[in-house]
Chains A and B, each alone.
Chain A
Amino acid sequence: MTGSPLNPRDWSSQPAYIDSAYRSTALRGPTRSLIPAKPALSALAGPVFGHDLLGELDSNLTLNGRKDNDPLGERIIVTGRVLDENGRPLPGTLVEIWQANSAGRYIHKVDQHAAPLDPNFFGGGRCITDGEGRYRFLTIKPGAYPWGNHVNAWRPNHIHFSLFGHHFATRLVTQMYFPGDPLLLLDPIFLGVPEKSRNRMVATFSIDETQEGYALGFVFDIVLRGANETLWETHR
């Protein structure tokens, strides 16, 4: 099935594949030019995920790993809209997240950072955007962690995001950062993105989303490639 062709990826907003400041890119980023696909191929619709795949607590990370107590750390609400470049909301699209706990430790078996695991926190979650393209997670603010890329290298606080959009080509994996984090300007992964578009990955604090006596609110809107409207009009 095909939808309308997409605008091209905005390469001027993307990180380069090989970035000398982020060491692991040296052997893993493709070195040859990408082969341009015909614009019509970008119209291929992507997979659809239904609510039947989700568990009741999937978007509540303060509960979905809870054993016998509340997870430790600062409760936060992370919410926003998934939009296309034309400002249209994308309803019904899957948003998956994963993150470290408040001490900066992932539950992943490979993470050996000497910070405690929280027996009541798992760190993975997901939801499907509503009719206005909105998603909402309740979670714990993730801690910073060291990552060995260079001397005294620390990742800023971040939440990993995975999105699909409505097309195969709108797939996006990104990270959400927190405003005012002093580690941002020392982080090669964040700095790998051109300066003009870096702030699109930084959430804003919102007193309106903050819940009285309970949790701080952060808003993170995500913009995926949109339909090329000119082409769409002529092909109708």
Chain B
Amino acid sequence: MSAGKPALLGQTPSQTVGPYFAYGLTPQQYGYAFSSIAGSTMAEASTPGIHIRIEGRVFDGRGDAVNDAMIELWQADSNGHYARDHGANSLFRGFGRCGTGTHAESKFWFDTVKPGVTGQRQAPHINVTVMMRGLLLHSFSRIYFDDESSANVTDEVLSCVPEDRRHTLLARRVADGVYRFDIHMQGDQETVFFDL
């Protein structure tokens, strides 16, 4: 990339979210007396679109489920508009947050709507941020849907990903309206993370 004017200021470095984020970032989910700015319920019954649940777990390099991770989702509405776009459905903010510390199997889950197509060469997708103790810099990933195969082959981001790793970005339909998206931090199935 061509260098612009040299930056004046150095970027503040990242640090791990640590083990104790829950009462600050996901307080209602964990039962603390502080309101949450976002949670697992991203869509209300009245939100237009196909209502879906996305659930999954975060696995460490030993294959153990991580019970102190936090996942954030950021997505377009069912028409493909992000919340501050003109014309976006004002009921749908498109941002969700869930920790993995309240479910017996360390699951995260989101009740949302399937995002629409946001532009040319984009298949329906959801942006993902992963944080946890032991992760010094959060990881960016993307959720695609395994029942959108014809859109997926045209997607400009998926096409940057080596073919044998693309499946790590696919949420699998496991029941009507339910998709499974596991995140593997390491190992053969290591999820694709992006340098955004």
- Which A residues are closer than 8 A to B by beta carbons? 1, 7-10, 13-17, 19, 22-32, 34-39, 41-42, 44-49, 53, 55, 64, 83-87, 94, 96-98, 100, 106-111, 122-126, 160, 162, 168-169, 171-175, 189-190, 192-194, 196-198, 200-201, 222-226, 228-231
Contacts and interface: CB of A to CB of B under 8 A. Distances in A.
A17 B74 CA distance: 23
Contact of B62 (A27, A97, A194, A222): A27
A28 B134 contact: yes
Interface stretch (B1-9, B44-52, B104-112, B172-180): B1-9
A97 B135 contact: no
A53 B28 CA distance: 13
B196 A98 contact: no
Among the interface residues B11, B82, B85, which one has the most CB atoms of the partner chain A within 10 A?
A: B11
A200 B193 CA distance: 26
A88 B140 CA distance: 25
A190 B18 CA distance: 13
B93 A35 contact: no
A37 B193 CA distance: 10
Contact of A37 (B14, B64, B195): B195
Interface in B13-37: 13-25, 27, 30, 32-35, 37
B70 to A, nearest CB: 9
Contact of B19 (A9, A55, A86, A110): A110
A14 B32 contact: no
Contact of A46 (B10, B74, B132): B74
Contacts of B101: 110
Given A28-B66, A46-B74, A224-B11, A96 B4 contact: no
A171 B70 CA distance: 14
A172 B14 CA distance: 6
Chain B, interface SS category = loop
A85 B84 CA distance: 24
A101 B3 CA distance: 44
Interface string B167-196: 000000000000000000110001111111
A233 B128 CA distance: 30
14 contacts: A15-B15, A29-B185, A30-B191, A31-B186, A32-B190, A37-B194, A44-B82, A46-B74, A47-B95, A86-B7, A87-B9, A175-B15, A197-B13, A229-B4
A162 B136 contact: no
B148 interface: no
Nearest to B36: A53
A192 B27 CA distance: 29
Contact of A55 (B35, B133, B194): B35
B7 A85 contact: yes
Contact of A124 (B34, B61, B196): B34
Contacts of A174: 12-15
Contacts of B27: 124
B91 interface: no
Contacts of A201: 12-13, 15
A53 B95 CA distance: 13
A110 B186 CA distance: 25
A171 B44 CA distance: 26
B136 A224 contact: no
A29 B137 CA distance: 9
A65 to B, nearest CB: 9
Given A41-B157, A122-B23, A173-B131, A47 B74 contact: yes
A124 B160 contact: no
A35 B195 contact: yes
Contacts of B24: 96-98, 123-126, 160, 162
Among the interface residues B25, B81, B84, which one has the most CB atoms of the partner chain A within 10 A?
A: B25
A27 B190 contact: no
Given A27-B186, A45-B84, A15 B13 contact: yes
